[in-house]
Amino acid sequence: MDYRAIGLFTYNFTPKFGLGLGWRYLDVDYRGNHQYIFDVAQSGALAGFYFNWGGKPPVPPAASCSASPMEVLEGEPVKVTATGSNFNPKHAITYAWTGNGGKLSGANAQTATIDTTGMAGDFAKGILAKTTSYTASATLTDPKEKTNNTASCTANYTVNPRPVHPPVVSSSASPSALAINQSGTVTMTASSPDNRPLTYSWSSTGGQFSGSGTSGTLVATNADAGNTITVTGTATDDRKLSTSCTAAVTVPPVQKVAEVEDWGECTFEKNPKKPWRVDNDCKDVLDKLALRIQQMPNGKVAIVGYNHQTEVVNAETIGSQRAVNIKYYMTTDELGPKVDPTRLEPRKGGAKGKTAHFYFVQQGTTLTTEESVTVDETAVQGQSRNASAPKKVKKTATTPQQ
């Protein structure tokens, strides 16, 4: 029977080469057929080198990729990073990035940046904007290793389209009402929520409009009388998104003044002592005037009393008194035809003579051909033919006050 026992301590210089130190015990007991006997026991220290022919295969290198952020709006940057494992830590690793969208910068670094401009569609070019998923891939290489020296990974990220906002606009007109041949200014205030450049255009339903940019000038014409002119301003961005606003300008209708008919006059020349008195000649005129008024159911008669420039004493009231006395005769005197007081309007004229003039004014119009004012009939009372002279008006001076 032979047996041996060995105990070793080993140290590996490389995965294949090593050194061993220890102790060995060997026992040999041999007996032959011819009475030959060999029985030996040996022990002692043991040292030696060894070479490992096989062993566990090396772990292959690996890589992982990540994107930050993983979801962005079109135009926002995305950073992609690659991390290797199981590479020799003493060797420098090289990186190579590729992607299926956007513009890569830093493609040979561990971290690269992707410009996502235009990756979710181009609204201006008619390309439908939509959410799109993209990938970026990295290849890691250990150039000092001959085999088993590369690893790859992929990072996924999503690009969402930016919200699209049309321009925001408002407009105003100054003034908001124009007479014929009068001009006004229409102004548009516009902005783009997306900070896009804007262009402007104008249109008008009437008048003569000229303008560019954010303002224009409107001139009302005869054809616009009684109508409302609508001025429309439109702001358009470089993506052809547009918004319109309107400003309304009214043009009042032309006031058609009916013709005022001159129906004659009364004179106050024959009685210099009572030049306000309605004499018989004037009464004949007034009787005929009353009949004519009765034949005209619509309209009224303006009685304009004048004074002569030589009538200094009663110049302030004599014209008014003449007009009021005529109305008094035509509405309250016991003789002659009577007229509805509401159809007679006493007015005070200027220094044009010792007369009172009659103007027939159609219903719905006012007297505009004469420089005169309506008489206050509470201050100037109608008088009969025997009444005394109107009182002289005393003029007083006033001091302006702040």
We report the CATH number of the domain holding residue 270 as 3.30.1330.60
Residue 394 pLDDT class (50, 70, 90 cuts): very low
In a shared domain, residues 115 and 214: no
Task: Judge whether 195 lies within some domain.
Answer: yes
Task: Judge whether 330 lies within some domain.
Answer: yes
In a shared domain, residues 47 and 134: no
Task: Judge whether 402 lies within some domain.
Answer: no
Per residue in 197-254, pLDDT (tens digit) is 999 999 999 999 998 899 999 999 989 989 999 999 999 998 889 999 999 999 998 7
Task: Judge whether 196 lies within some domain.
Answer: yes
Asked if the model's pLDDT at residue 161 lies above 80, the reply is: yes
Residue 384 pLDDT class (50, 70, 90 cuts): low
Task: Judge whether 85 lies within some domain.
Answer: yes
- H or E stretch covering 319: helix 318-332
In a shared domain, residues 265 and 366: yes
Residue 97 corresponds to which tokens in the numbers above?
């990035």
Percent helix / strand / coil, the chain, rounded to 5: 10, 45, 45
Contact 253/226 with Cβ under 8 angstroms?
yes
Asked if the model's pLDDT at residue 392 lies above 60, the reply is: no
Average pLDDT, the chain: 84
In a shared domain, residues 188 and 271: no
Q: What is the 3-state secondary structure (H, E, C) of 2-38?
A: EEEEEEEEEEECCCCEEEEEEEEEEEEEEECCCCCEE
For 165-180, what is the mean pLDDT? 93
Contact 356/305 with Cβ under 8 angstroms?
yes
Which pLDDT score, from 0 to 100, does residue 272 have?
A: 79
Asked if the model's pLDDT at residue 25 lies above 80, the reply is: yes
Task: Judge whether 80 lies within some domain.
Answer: yes
Which pLDDT score, from 0 to 100, does residue 281 have?
A: 87
In a shared domain, residues 135 and 225: no
CA separation for the pair 77, 137 (Å, rounded): 16
- Tell me 225's DSSP state: T
Listed residues 250, 269, 285: the one ending a domain: 250
Which pLDDT score, from 0 to 100, does residue 190 have?
A: 95
Listed residues 216, 250, 284: the one ending a domain: 250
Least confident of 21-30, 95-104, 175-184, 368-377: 368-377
In a shared domain, residues 353 and 336: yes
Asked if the model's pLDDT at residue 296 lies above 80, the reply is: yes
In a shared domain, residues 307 and 233: no
Structural domain containing residue 174: 168-250
Which pLDDT score, from 0 to 100, does residue 396 have?
A: 37
Share of the chain above pLDDT 90, in %: 40
CA separation for the pair 306, 321 (Å, rounded): 9
CA separation for the pair 29, 154 (Å, rounded): 69
Residue 385 pLDDT class (50, 70, 90 cuts): low
Asked if the model's pLDDT at residue 393 lies above 50, the reply is: no
The structure's pTM equals 0.42
Asked if the model's pLDDT at residue 387 lies above 60, the reply is: no
Which pLDDT score, from 0 to 100, does residue 398 have?
A: 33
Domain count, the chain: 4
Sign of CA dihedral 378, 383, 388, 394: positive
Comparing CA positions, the residue from 193, 199, 196, 229 lying closest to residue 213 is 199
Listed residues 119, 138, 160: the one ending a domain: 160
For 318-330, what is the mean pLDDT? 88
Residue 278 pLDDT class (50, 70, 90 cuts): confident
Task: Judge whether 380 lies within some domain.
Answer: no
In a shared domain, residues 151 and 242: no
Degrees (nearest 5) of the Cα angle 380, 382, 385? 130
CATH number of the domain enclosing 194: 2.60.40.10
In a shared domain, residues 296 and 368: yes
CB atoms inside a 10 Å sphere around CB 113: 16
Burial environment of residue 218 by CB neighbours within 10 A (0 to 12, 13 to 18, 19 or more): buried
Which pLDDT score, from 0 to 100, does residue 382 have?
A: 75
Higher pLDDT, 272 or 84: 84
In a shared domain, residues 67 and 14: no
In a shared domain, residues 81 and 146: yes
Which pLDDT score, from 0 to 100, does residue 369 have?
A: 58
In a shared domain, residues 15 and 93: no
Task: Judge whether 87 lies within some domain.
Answer: yes
β-strand pairing of 111-115 with 78-85:
antiparallel
Which pLDDT score, from 0 to 100, does residue 111 have?
A: 95
